[in-house]
Amino acid sequence: MAVAVKTSGGFCNAQQQWLHSTRDLFLYGYSHSNAKECKSKKTKRPASLRVKATSTKVELDFNDPSWKQKFQEDWDNRFNLPRITDIYDLKPRPTTFSLTKQRTPTGDEDSTPKDMWNGYVSNDDRALMKVIKYSSPTSAGAECIDPDCSWVEQWVHRAGPRKDIYYEPNEVKAAIVTCGGLCPGLNDVIRQVVFTLETYGVKNIVGIPFGFRGFYEKGLKEMPLSRNLVENINLAGGSFLGVSRGGPKTSEIVDSIQARRIDMLFVLGGNGTHAGANAIHDECRKRKLKVSVVAVPKTIDNDIPLMDKTFGFDTAVEEAQRAINSAYIEARSAYHGIGLVKLMGRSSGFIAMHASLSSGQVDVCLIPEVPFALDGEYGVLQHLEQLIKNTGFCVVCVAEAAGQELLQNSGATDASGNAILSDIGVHMQQKIKTHFKGIGVHADIKYIDPTYMVRACRANASDAILCTVLGQNAVHGAFAGFSGITSCICNTHYVYLPVTQVITAPKRVNHKGRMWHRCLTSTGQPDFR
Ligand SMILES: Nc1ncnc2c1ncn2[C@@H]1O[C@H](COP(=O)(O)OP(=O)(O)OP(=O)(O)O)[C@@H](O)[C@H]1O
Ligand SMILES: O=P(O)(O)OC[C@H]1O[C@](O)(CO)[C@@H](O)[C@@H]1O
Ligand SMILES: [Mg+2]
């Protein structure tokens, strides 16, 4: 859901600068420098902030003692999970997802009376999304709603199996589709979705081949799926179903869903896929179809907002640090060796930052969120010169989206409409060569671009567990009658979020947050500007 923020008179001069987007408001709060300015003008502050959502219109005036309550009402409204009962008058039935294989507690383990224990999640259960109480907007990484950084509880819906379900399992046709680029863990999620559907009693499970294209391209047949068939697919990387970018229009996808009589659609993908899932959900509602569309956030880039991480990210970081390790060994073994590694991340530097942190071998980490100069007194090249002089070798890790403003851009896009980036790695390699040649100092540059190697691999242990839980919860969400939701992890708890809330903008590294500062402490790099 798009949320427009309007400001009115005299709130703070810096207001336009710090409310870059609604995402800034809800995810990052005030920027430090501007927040200081706001603080200093506190007494003059009329503090009227209008938060206008497409389905709600909330006026927030921080001088109004009930502003928190208004914020929370708006929050609850935005995070309310869409359900098929919003458009259908349906009676639930008791779930067929049995927990009885587990030994029923005797009652000795805890104080729950034996006959009241059921192991299901209530629709009223919530998880707290934010747990830090920032004392002021100037605290590192502060995410504040009002200028005083007051504590406001932000609850989201807990994921898991419900006691009541809204589908007859033996009548359900469920489909799974994997979209976008590859990501470690896709097969783990497919496998768990199939296992869990079968546990409910679903017999008709199909895979849509090659992303959204599988709904449309002639010759691409849906693939019947079963526990037997998917039992071992998690042992390999990639997607058992295949992936793709681009594809048919939403209306064509929904025509196909209707023609195939699909009741539940599990959509695995990144931010583009989530936008697609949301459009499919909306179109199904418009046509009054009883279809649950449930997404599972997949992307090595970790750029989907509000959640702790997306599956595949941990594995990509682990693979990426192998490349850094090789660059380190090459650089250290060469006379005046410079190891340069370019890592993926379409619009954010999470992989580069985390791989730099985890390897501990990086002297300079460059990400798109933090602009830098290559040339000049404070530029990267000057710093490399110093490192070579002092240590004899160094390692640079650059995110693929970093420094795009230094390069010529073709303006080209891929089939999904994503911008095709210019190659910062090759550019830096050339610049470093030219620089050292120019100053007459020998430098041996070893450039490593692991590209697809960081994602065309099997999920590591932590991703495999995440995939297992997210896949199972996706099925529980569909049976509970939710649609237009995503199954994710927030603040270490497994939750459902409305897809509308995670497609506002890509999540980016907070350059004022602790993680980036930890990375700077680790590399020891200065500001390059
Ligand atoms: N705004 C949108 N509305 C509807 N469909 C979309 C939208 N954006 C992308 N899609 C569709 O979603 C699919 C995947 O999108 P995209 O290629 O951007 O990958 P992604 O899901 O962001 O994953 P990755 O992290 O690998 O980039 C494509 O088939 C594309 O057509
Ligand atoms: O698979 P493609 O189209 O080459 O896309 C590569 C892009 O996909 C990602 O792996 C995931 O979005 C990005 O890190 C990268 O920019
Ligand atoms: Mg994307």
Q: What is the pLDDT of residues 181-203, one digit of tens each?
A: 999 999 999 999 999 999 999 99
- Catalytic residue IDs: 301
Are 316 and 455 in contact, with CB atoms under 8 Å apart? yes
Mean pLDDT over 59-73 rounds to 90
Residue 211 Cβ < 6 Å to ligand 1: yes
What's the pLDDT score for residue 140? 92
DSSP at 44: G
Measured in angstroms, how far is the CA atom of residue 528 from the centroid of ligand 3?
28
Size of the chain, expressed as the number of residues it contains? 529
Tell me if 214 is assigned to a ligand binding site.
Answer: no
Tell me if 272 is assigned to a ligand binding site.
Answer: yes
What's the pLDDT score for residue 516? 98
* ipTM here: 0.99
CB atoms within 10 A of CB 350: 27
Instruction: Give, for ligand 1, the residue of 300, 416, 451, 503 to mutate: max count of ligand atoms closer than 8 Å to Cβ.
Output: 416
d(CA 262, CA 256): 9
Give pLDDT tens digits for 354-402: 999 999 999 999 999 999 999 999 999 999 999 999 999 999 999 999 9
Q: Name, in order, each residue with C-beta under 8 angstroms of 487's C-beta and a sequence gap of 6 or more.
A: 159, 294, 295, 296, 297, 470, 471, 473, 474, 477, 494, 496
pLDDT > 90 in the chain, percent: 82
Residue 245 Cβ < 6 Å to ligand 1: yes
Tokens of 90: 């349906």
Say yes or no to pLDDT of 139 above 70. yes
Residue 506 Cβ < 6 Å to ligand 1: no
Are 292 and 321 in contact, with CB atoms under 8 Å apart? no
Q: Return mean pLDDT, the chain.
A: 88
For the chain, the straight-line distance linking the first and the last C-alpha, in angstroms and rounded, comes to 37
Residue 301 Cβ < 6 Å to ligand 1: yes
- Nearest to 339, CA basis, from 382, 398, 296: 398
> Hey, what amino acid is at 122?
S
Are 185 and 467 in contact, with CB atoms under 8 Å apart? yes
Say yes or no to pLDDT of 47 above 60. no
Give pLDDT tens digits for 244-297: 999 999 999 999 999 999 999 999 999 999 999 999 999 999 999 999 999 999
Q: Name, in order, each residue with C-beta under 8 angstroms of 352's C-beta and a sequence gap of 6 or more.
A: 320, 343, 345, 365, 366, 367, 397, 398, 399, 402
> Hey, what amino acid is at 446?
K
CA-proximal residue: ligand 2, atom 3 (nearest): 181
CA-proximal residue: ligand 1, atom 8 (nearest): 272
Give pLDDT tens digits for 14-41: 232 222 333 333 333 323 233 333 333 3
Say yes or no to pLDDT of 109 above 60. no
Phi, psi of 506 (to 5 degrees): -65, 145
Measured in angstroms, how far is the CA atom of residue 270 from the centroid of ligand 3?
5
Can you tell me which residue has the tokens 């504040």?
A: 144
Are 486 and 295 in contact, with CB atoms under 8 Å apart? yes
CB atoms within 10 A of CB 482: 26
What's the pLDDT score for residue 118? 73
d(CA 70, CA 61): 9
Tokens of 392: 């004899």
Are 234 and 191 in contact, with CB atoms under 8 Å apart? yes
Sign, CA torsion 225/227/228/230: positive
